[in-house]
Amino acid sequence: MGRENCTHNVHLRTLVRMTDHPSGEPQAQHLDALMTFLSVARLGRYTAAADALGINHSTVSRRIAGLERSLGGRVLARTPSGWEVTALGQRALAAAERVEDALASLAGDGEQDGRISGVVRLGSPDAFAVHLATSALAELQQANPNLAVELISATQRARQNRSGLDLEIVVGRPQIHRAQAEHVMDYALRLYATEEYLARHGRPADLSELAGHRLNYYVEAVLTIDDLDRATQRLPTMRRGIASTNVLSHVTATTAGAGIGLLPDYVAVHHSELIHLLPEHYVHRLSYWAVGRQEALRNPAVQAVYAALREHGRRTEQRLRSVGQV
């Protein structure tokens, strides 16, 4: 080990020891700086860390600068995908996680029984957020009253810049850098319509008879997810029904008789008025994946959120199999 690494390790040990001391302004400042760094490492952005901690951007910047002066080197490096942790920062990150665990133990006074706490920021497509994530997170929160989750819903491709979120749910296995992807669940897009719509416009017997029917699906010009874009390639040219960037609008349009909907099966099964069309002729299989920065995925709260989503996804897959949606 070189002289520089030895010096940094001495600084780290000194910093962690200082956080163990009784209250005092310098010690409190070091502790604040270490916890602020931990938040930036997980979220990748000063502004996101500031929001999570209830402070302003300049305070985050000042604390990080103070931490780097104390350690004698840079703990964060700016990249196109947000702030990334340096080699020195990795050692500071491990120390910060130990301090976080110790503080959580003290705050629980030994009565937490392994329960998790903190704030987790989750990005998710609209349908997944409403029909899967919210119920899974509600169960998790009941068992962990000190856990808070911020759920941001939008249907988009996995971003190379994932900063600002602890975990992001995306459609299709992503090709990404400097992050980790884990499978959540499989599902499929299928064709649905109401009995009233079919009585007025006729029931298609095969894919060719879809021509002339209205299709409720995404706005093609703004659809950026290849796996969703490919869903219409096997379909004949159809009239545009109600196109929307929100899948829940596709469902509402279809149940209102505005056309044939290309809908996620795990959403459609909740609507008894929808008839599954051409099951032998058409299915477009997809999957959801969870993507997160490696620093964020080391957070026990983020791990617990992923586990809850995966378990809820597994149960949803089982329900789909039980009703023949496979």
Give how far Cα 192 sits from Cα of 131, 220, 230, 243, Å. Answer: 18, 19, 18, 15
Spans of all domains in the chain = 3-108, 118-182+288-322, 185-286
What confidence category does residue 157 fall into, taking pLDDT thresholds of 50, 70 and 90?
low
Give 270-296 pLDDT, tens digit per residue.
999 999 999 999 999 999 999 988 788
What confidence category does residue 2 fall into, taking pLDDT thresholds of 50, 70 and 90?
very low
Extract long-range pairs of 133-142: CB within 8 Å, 24+ residues apart: 133/169, 133/309, 133/312, 135/312, 136/308, 136/309, 136/311, 136/312, 137/305, 137/308, 139/308, 139/312, 140/304, 140/305, 140/308
What confidence category does residue 26 fall into, taking pLDDT thresholds of 50, 70 and 90?
low
What is the predicted pLDDT for the residue at 113? 55
What confidence category does residue 5 fall into, taking pLDDT thresholds of 50, 70 and 90?
very low
**314: helix, strand or coil:** helix
Higher pLDDT, 29 or 228: 228
Beta bridge partners of 153: 124
Distance CA 32, CA 36 (A): 6
What confidence category does residue 3 fall into, taking pLDDT thresholds of 50, 70 and 90?
very low
| 162 pLDDT higher than 70 | no
Give 45-91 pLDDT, tens digit per residue.
888 888 878 888 899 899 999 888 988 899 888 887 778 888 898 88
What is the predicted pLDDT for the residue at 303? 92
Are 125 and 97 in contact, with CB atoms under 8 Å apart?
no
Domain 3-108 CATH class label = mainly alpha
What is the predicted pLDDT for the residue at 109? 44
Estimate to the nearest angstrom the gap between the alpha carbon of 131 and the chain centroid.
14
| 9 pLDDT higher than 90 | no
What is the predicted pLDDT for the residue at 248? 94
| 182 pLDDT higher than 50 | yes
**44: helix, strand or coil:** coil
What is the predicted pLDDT for the residue at 204? 97
Mean pLDDT of 130-153: 94
Are 141 and 119 in contact, with CB atoms under 8 Å apart?
no
CATH fold, domain 185-286, is: D-Maltodextrin-Binding Protein; domain 2 (3.40.190)
Radius of gyration from C-alpha coordinates of the chain? 24
What confidence category does residue 6 fall into, taking pLDDT thresholds of 50, 70 and 90?
very low
What confidence category does residue 97 fall into, taking pLDDT thresholds of 50, 70 and 90?
confident
**169: helix, strand or coil:** strand
Higher pLDDT, 146 or 254: 254
What is the predicted pLDDT for the residue at 266? 97
Same fold, 3-108 and 185-286: no
Specify the amino acid at residue 16.
V
Which of 3.40.190.10, 3.60.20.10, 3.30.499.10, 1.20.1530.20 would CATH assign to domain 118-182+288-322? Answer: 3.40.190.10
Task: Find the range with the poorest average confidence among 7-11, 24-28, 183-187, 223-227.
Answer: 7-11
Distance CA 276, CA 260 (A): 10
Task: Find the range with the poorest average confidence among 94-103, 138-147, 178-187, 292-301.
Answer: 94-103
Mean pLDDT of 127-143: 96
What confidence category does residue 323 fall into, taking pLDDT thresholds of 50, 70 and 90?
confident
Residue 236: φ, ψ to 5°? -70, 170
